Amino acid sequence: MINFSTQLKRFPFLEAASEIAAELSFEIFIVGGFVRDLILKRDRKEIDFLVVGDGTEFAKKYAKQLGVKKVTVFKNFGTAHFQFGDYDLEFVGARKESYKKSSRKPEVVSGTFEDDIKRRDFTINTIAVFISKESFGTMIDLFGGYEDIKNKLIRTPIEPMITFDDDPLRIMRAYRFAAQLGFEVDESINEAAAKLKSRLSIVSQERITDEFLKILASPKPSVGLNLLYYAGVLEVILPELSNLAGVEQRNDYHHKDVFNHTCEVVDNISKITENVWLHFAALVHDIAKPQTKKFVEGTGWTFHGHEELGARMMKPLFKKLKLPMHKLEYVEKLVRLHLRPIALAGEEVTDSAIRRLIVSAGEDLEDLITLCRADITSKNPRKKSKYLENYERVMKKVWEVEEKDKLRAFQSPVRGEVIMKVCNLKPSKKVGEIKKAIEEAILDGKIGNNYEEAFQYLLEIKDEFLKKG
Ligand code: CTP
């Protein structure tokens, strides 16, 4: 019999739970993600308690014993929650859950320990550990979850069609756990997911997006993305992405499968950074390729303008997915600029073209180059190193020009107030236009990036601007 009492010593506050359980003659267990992560040696701050008895009563007594004042009770769900130090403690009375077809909100009816455990999502989340004094730390594993963790397998405790029908969000959770933990998914899950994918419509977009972003933040997102694609779930939650799959052949020309390429780029980026928004930018960088695809006789496939159209698709996509709008500009920028650095790799590139890149990318230039490097998925080592060298050359030029100009936080060295004074203008659109003209002159290399030359230039152009009325 497996016993976790040694590992649980790290959580001395559990002893008080044993005492209260004895006092109330309740059976208490720790269940779910905490036990799973204990076995996987993953750190975790949320602990779920399963109480055979009144979960709320237990939570209140336990909180009092620990000196915690605030206990939040969700009457409708029969759950309670409080914070103790760094830990989030959740309490639920054992229940039989019967779900309504049209909503994810279960009707709660109390049940036995087994009723509760078998209505949970995956066997890896059904392992319970006794907290009661006489058997403290003993594992109860009704569905072989321990074996499944050891074999890295995601499986449902009962028929997956029932498990997913009860709560369709679990389709997303299956693939999220697969990506996050590097586990395999049992084939029966894929079959049920394919059949029930349209039931995701009763799940709120926020919950779906939350799981999707967890897949994207995982060490190898392609695991989850491919599972979603092959079960046909991607087509429901993000058709723009599943549309990237497929290759067309004409004459001797074929283009590479954009979905596979995208998966590779996202994986490449995930090896370098944990910034999930950079992962997201990688995911959508070629999103407009299907709409811009053209076959040109003698040239082959082209995708002109896919970067600009892709950038413009971001706002509606952010709205649909309910993504945080303050990340929109960053993603748009990376999509819009993802081809720019490579266009600047030639020997004869001017300083002004480099300056434009520096100013357009601003503080996200490093992220843009990271994306560009991840975008190289050629299997030919010679080509790959040639492309990488190109980016190094661009970055070298960037550093040289930056050194010359100190451009990162670029703004006209002659500010609005000075322009207003010299031209005798009130704050207006015209002031902005004059300032922009000065900035353009600097970017074009007509004048240097310093106050004296900019001021001189202002004197030269002011009459022309004021004449225009
Ligand atoms: N659960 C479930 N179905 C869901 C969500 C959760 O059956 N749709 C069960 C699982 O047993 C899960 C437990 O409730 O372990 C707690 O849920 P939650 O905290 O959301 O998930 P965890 O498994 O703890 O994992 P994570 O914190 O990574 O989401």
- 128: pLDDT confidence band, cut at 50, 70 and 90? very high
For residue 124, which of 161, 158, 153, 97 has the smallest C-alpha distance? 153
Write down which residue in 125, 144, 163 finishes a domain.
144
Instruction: Look at residue 69 and tell me if it is in a domain.
Output: yes
Lowest-pLDDT range, 37-51, 219-233, 276-290, 447-461?
Answer: 447-461
Domain count, the chain: 3
Residue 252, amino acid: D
| Residue with tokens 């990340």, as numbered in its chain | 327
In this structure, are residues 418 and 455 in contact, taking their beta carbons and an 8 Å threshold? yes
Ligand 1: centre distance to CA 126 (Å):
10
Average pLDDT over residues 110-130: 94
Is residue 372 domain-shared with residue 448, that is, in the same domain?
Answer: no
Query: Domain check: are 318 and 393 in the same one?
Result: yes
Angle 8-13-17 (CA atoms, 0-180°, nearest 5)? 95
| Higher-pLDDT residue of 231, 101 | 231
Q: 99 CA to middle of ligand 1, Å?
A: 16
**Ligand 1 atom closest to the CA of 119, numbered from 1:** 7
Lowest mean pLDDT among 93-97, 430-434, 438-442: 93-97
459 — pLDDT class (breaks 50, 70, 90) = very high
Q: What is the model's pLDDT at position 469?
A: 65
Residue 27 CA from chain centroid, whole number? 39
Mean pLDDT across the chain = 92
> Is the model's pLDDT at 466 over the cut of 90?
no
Domain boundary residue among 113, 144, 175?
144
Protein residue with least CA distance to atom 15, ligand 1:
32
- Best residue among 44, 104, 120 to mutate for probing ligand 1's pocket (most ligand atoms within 8 Å of CB) is 120
**Do 389 and 430 have their domain in common?**
no
At 213 the pLDDT is 98
21, 132: one domain: yes
pLDDT bucket at 445, cuts 50 / 70 / 90:
confident
Residues 345 and 440 in one domain: no
Specify the pLDDT at position 315. Answer: 98
**pLDDT above 90 coverage of the chain, percent:** 75
Shared domain check, 443 and 345: no
Q: Is the separation of the CB atoms in 96 and 111 below 8 Å?
A: yes
Question: Among 209-223, 255-269, 408-422, 438-452, which is the least confidently predicted range?
Answer: 408-422
Cα(32) to centroid(ligand 1), Å: 6
225 belongs to a structural domain: no
String of DSSP letters for 36-71: HHHHTT----EEEEEEES-HHHHHHHHHHHHT----
Query: pLDDT tens digit string along 181-202?
Result: 999 999 999 999 999 999 999 9
pLDDT for 78 equals 79
At 158, give phi and psi (nearest 5°). Answer: -120, -175
370-392, pLDDT tens digit by residue? 999 999 998 899 999 999 999 99
pLDDT bucket at 361, cuts 50 / 70 / 90: very high
- Can you give the residue range of the structural domain that contains 434? 416-467
- Percent over 70 (pLDDT), the chain: 96
- 381 and 461 assigned to the same domain: no
Q: Of 118, 144, 170, which closes a domain?
A: 144
Residue ranges around ligand 1 (CB below 6 Å): 32-33, 46, 48, 120-121, 125, 167, 169-170, 173
pTM score: 0.86
pLDDT of residue 413: 83
**What's the confidence (pLDDT) of residue 99?**
63
Summarised one tens digit per residue, pLDDT across range 213-264 is 999 999 999 999 999 999 999 999 999 999 999 877 776 677 778 999 999 9
Neighbour tally for 385: CB within 10 Å: 12
